[in-house]
Chains A and B, each alone.
Chain A
């Protein structure tokens, strides 16, 4: 036989293929093929233009196999699955519309996603497919109207190692495609595989380099913005090595024209940053707090400091930046305000002591008895001095609580607190004809860790309010109970209650509600602010429950566990 092609028709033919090697012949023009491959490789190496080279290779392949049309494509995968993107394809467009589409899209590669086709079978399986009776092949789903006839088809997968990178498809070789063809095209397929693989690698490198450029740009934007802020901005490597400090930062520390040498934090501040600040910033991206800088002359400076660790596309911290603002002036003003309040309040006490003392002696009858009107006026004066004294005391108390220097924690039996509270308010309760009742529902040995003096004062404030607003003959109940991991101290009364809309406002300083509009029982407006602050200092919570009609219930909920919140002071 002169050629293996002869007699090689549709797959269902019973004529066995003729092995060209056994017959001494080859199926194709090996010389032309080799020349085509060599030329393509050289061009790709020298010019790097994959599309041109693959188009030339396709032309060579069509020519030596006698095929009418074909393509060389890449197997691509996205969220919708595998599909084919051509790098070289014969233009077989048969309508004007398709011709336009082909002209527009083919330079970027045509995408074919319908895999219910002969080439689709290759994409799905990654294996060679030969169909020499394409019109009757069940794997082909038919052709669109106008498509040039498809008589035979040969689909050859392109593999690089274990990676399925693409395929070659050729059609309509006269007489069909014999299986031996694949072996003879090995070198050709290898070249196509290498070129597609190289294209992929190039694309990957470009993506990585684009990302790197984007990252660099972002860093530059950060740096440009931060360099101009009036705050201290320092940039450091992730390991903490300082890279740069902006001009404002240098000036703030007093290094106006030199390098910043040595530590810029005081000892406690440095420890805080190493133990808390940096780890938090690196894990969570940000830490904000107060620290202390050291100026070049050794003096400390109070700053509000943020540490940020911007992350790259892979979620790794790129660098550490710290931004700090001098708040020493703010702190000084705050201190001044507190000293002022303390001094004024204290200086007020001296004349108040004299006033209260002389009025007390007069109303006490030590200097003789006074007639009705004089006595009434003296008592009005005395009760208002008492109010003034209460106000000054509350201001001082609140001020001390704000300074939170006075919390002295120790184990306290909640029952003792209730008893002590009742002792203090018993006098007022008897004047108002209000009954005080203690209810406790606590397991033995339950204690809270707290400041006894502060807690008694807070409870006295609550109980005093309850007595003040209770109608004569009613009852005020003081209770202690366990709620999960908290001890709840409560004071409940049968007074007019609190409008639920006013509850939150009630705990703010100098807020007084006048439930019955008579304004006959006034206080300082600081009592509940003191209660709330006391609760906060114990990592607890102060709250009020009322429907605005049937009395009110005020609670102080205290954690059973040792206080570990920011406000609290561990023992």
Chain B
């Protein structure tokens, strides 16, 4: 069986590199990284990923805004979205849920445990993490 495909969307090069290394090397996922929402939509329409790891604050379209576009797209609507964010107040959490997120991972994240958290979402495990 082919490894799940995770699309990482983050405007920070370093964070993309770390997430990719963590998810690919430790988790064994297939990983694609893009830097913004436009690239993300192009990539997703070319091949629907199994999970989207989405930064909250990005230049141009923000994470929640991109999530809403994806939810409105019939072909992409079912892709689980995990937000990566520094902002985790109760209000923020509600915003991620409203935007269609099914979990969030707080930044700074631990690269050693990130793959497990992603796998938990893919397997329909607990929503949200710390």
Interface set of A (CB-CB < 8 Å, partner B):
346, 349-358, 360-361, 364, 366, 389, 400, 406, 408, 453
Contacts and interface: CB of A to CB of B under 8 A. Distances in A.
B18 interface: yes
Given A358-B18, A361-B21, A353 B91 contact: no
A400 B89 CA distance: 9
A12 to B, nearest CB: 105
Interface in B80-108: 86-87, 89-91, 107-108
A349 B90 contact: no
Given A349-B86, A406-B90, A357 B108 contact: yes
B124 to A, nearest CB: 22
B26 A366 contact: yes
Interface residues of B, number: 20
A346 B86 contact: yes
18 contacts: A346-B87, A349-B86, A349-B107, A349-B108, A352-B108, A353-B18, A353-B107, A354-B15, A355-B108, A356-B108, A360-B110, A360-B112, A361-B21, A361-B22, A361-B112, A366-B21, A366-B111, A453-B90
B112 A353 contact: no
A423 to B, nearest CB: 11
A406 B94 CA distance: 13
Give 9 closest A-B pairs by Cβ, nearest first: A357-B18, A354-B14, A353-B108, A356-B108, A364-B112, A360-B111, A349-B86, A353-B107, A357-B111
Contacts of A357: 14-15, 18-19, 22, 108-109, 111
A353 B14 CA distance: 9
Given A352-B108, A353-B107, 13 more contacts: A346-B87, A353-B18, A353-B109, A354-B12, A354-B14, A356-B108, A356-B109, A357-B111, A358-B111, A361-B111, A364-B26, A364-B111, A366-B111
Contact of A353 (B15, B25, B89): B15
Contacts of B21: 361, 366
Nearest to B110: A360
Contacts of B25: 361, 366
Contacts of A352: 108
Interface in B5-54: 12, 14-15, 18-19, 21-22, 25-26
A9 to B, nearest CB: 108
- What does DSSP make chain A's interface, helix, strand, loop or mixed? helix
Contacts of B91: 406
A260 B110 CA distance: 62
Contacts of A453: 90
Contacts of B109: 353, 356-357
A389 B89 contact: no
A459 to B, nearest CB: 16
Contacts of A351: 14
Given A353-B107, A366-B26, A361 B18 contact: yes
B13 to A, nearest CB: 9
Contacts of B110: 356, 360
B75 to A, nearest CB: 31
A307 to B, nearest CB: 36
B25 to A, nearest CB: 5
A408 B90 contact: yes
Which of A349, A350, A400, A453 is the most central at the interface, judged by chain B CB atoms within 10 Å of its CB?
A: A350
Nearest to B130: A424
A350 B12 contact: yes
Contacts of B26: 364, 366
A402 to B, nearest CB: 14
Contacts of B90: 406, 408, 453
B82 to A, nearest CB: 15
Contacts of A406: 89-91
Interface string B53-91: 000000000000000000000000000000000110111
Contacts of B19: 357
Nearest to B21: A361
A453 B88 CA distance: 11
